[in-house]
Amino acid sequence: MNRLLPALALLAACWGQSAYILEGTVVAVDGSTVTVDHDEIDGFMAPMTMPFEIRDDVQVSPGDRIVARLMVEEQGSYLAKVRITGHTAPPAQVEGVAPIKSGEPLPATTVELAQGGSLTLGEGQQGSVALTFAYTTCPMPEFCPAVVSRLQGLQPRLPEDARIVVVTLDPEGDTPAVLQAFATDVGATARWNWARMEPAALQDLAMRSGLSVREEDGQILHSLRMLVLDDQGTLVERYDDTHWPLDRVVEQLATGRPAAPEGTSGTLTPK
């Protein structure tokens, strides 16, 4: 048994709901941003590799095993109280495009709609879009089912010329027929589109969206992302959980504002 666990559990109780314990291995360091291949964050996030801001005066290197406090605030998240607990060979870093930031356009991206036809997202887009990711057989209630539940609340309040687009993370299993049946089951209307992409294109969109996704033991492990794109395909704000404020998202889809501070990445909303 990991001797740190009882102590970490006690610390978690003291830190409160907006702080979580993160353990993982540093993959890369870029100034104050570190990419960490982290373990499951109990009650919050599946294991994955993703970037975090460090606000401590601590020097870490690829391969360092760390324990840290993941602070979740309204305008984002960061790591504090970072402690190096060991060192190992650094995990391989996946090369790819960087996630877009607030104020940047999503490069034109074509998705295939379950009901037939295609749709352009990003540059050349028609109308504003709430873009997110899920798949129909996702077994974790706090992930895809929670995403669908939130979208059911957003759908009746969609502004004119706005739509929801959900891209499946399982294009092999989620055939057009499967997606259409699922859309009917969850009450999706014509302005709530379910879409598929070829794996390579899906991986590119996931990276541009800041979405971490991988397959392990037959299960698709992924983070949570929703991008609000204005009618020009520019990122208004990226939400990294399912607790985004409904009124704010509706206003962003209607007007393109309020925008997240220019150049920022995702927002995590306190529960």
Higher pLDDT, 143 or 84: 84
Average pLDDT over residues 181-189: 96
- Specify the pLDDT at position 112: 97
Domain assignment of residue 95, yes or no? no
Considering the domain boundaries, does residue 8 fall inside one? yes
**For residue 93, pLDDT beyond 80:** no
Does one domain contain both 77 and 46? yes
Q: What is the pLDDT of residues 119-152, one digit of tens each?
A: 999 999 999 999 999 999 988 787 899 999 999 9
Do both 115 and 57 map to the same domain?
Answer: no
What's phi and psi for 177, nearest 5 deg? -65, -40
Mention every residue, 6+ apart, whose C-beta is less than 8 A from residue 179.
Answer: 114, 136, 168, 194, 195, 196
Residue 75 has pLDDT above 80, yes or no: no
Q: Is residue 77 assigned to a domain?
A: yes
DSSP letter at 75 equals T
- Cα–Cα distances (Å) from 13 to 17, 21, 168, 213, in that order, read 8, 10, 36, 29
Per the domain annotation, does 263 fall within a domain? yes
Question: Do 60 and 126 fall into the same domain?
Answer: no
- Say if strands 266-267 and 235-239 run parallel, antiparallel, or are unpaired: parallel
- Strand order from edge to edge, sheet including 266-267: 118-121, 109-113, 192-196, 162-168, 128-134, 226-229, 235-239, 266-267
H-run or E-run covering 170: none
258 and 173 share one domain = yes
Q: How many CB atoms lie within 10 A of CB 137?
A: 12
Query: How many domains does the structure of the chain reveal?
Result: 2
Verify that 79 and 45 share a domain, yes or no.
yes
pLDDT at 213: 82
Identify which of 24, 76, 75, 73 has the alpha carbon closest to the alpha carbon of residue 50.
24
- CA 176 vs CA 11, 48, 155, 188: distances in Å: 47, 28, 21, 14
Q: Is 100 contained in some domain?
A: no
Whether 78 is in a domain gets the answer yes
Residue 72 in any domain: the answer is yes
pLDDT tens readout for residues 199-249: 999 999 998 998 888 777 677 878 889 999 999 999 999 998 888 999 999
pLDDT of residue 17: 44
Mean pLDDT across the stretch 88-112? 82
Question: Are 159 and 248 part of one and the same domain?
Answer: yes
Beta bridge partners of 131: 165, 227
Hey, what are 48's tokens?
């994955």
| pLDDT reading at 268 higher than 70 | no
The whole-number pLDDT of residue 195 equals 98
Q: What is the pTM of this model?
A: 0.73
Do 83 and 113 have their domain in common? no
DSSP three-state, residue 178: helix
257 in the same domain as 133: yes
Which domain covers residue 181, as residue numbers?
Answer: 109-267
**266 dihedral zone (left: phi>0; alpha: psi -120 to 50; beta):** beta
97 falls within a domain:
no
Q: Do 161 and 50 sit in the same domain of this protein? A: no
pLDDT at 270: 55
User: The domain that contains 204 carries what CATH number?
Assistant: 3.40.30.10
Q: Domain with 52 in it: what CATH number?
A: 2.40.50.320
Residues 51 and 117 in one domain: no
**Same domain membership, residue 113 and residue 38:** no
pLDDT at 4: 35
Q: Are residues 82 and 113 in the same domain?
A: no
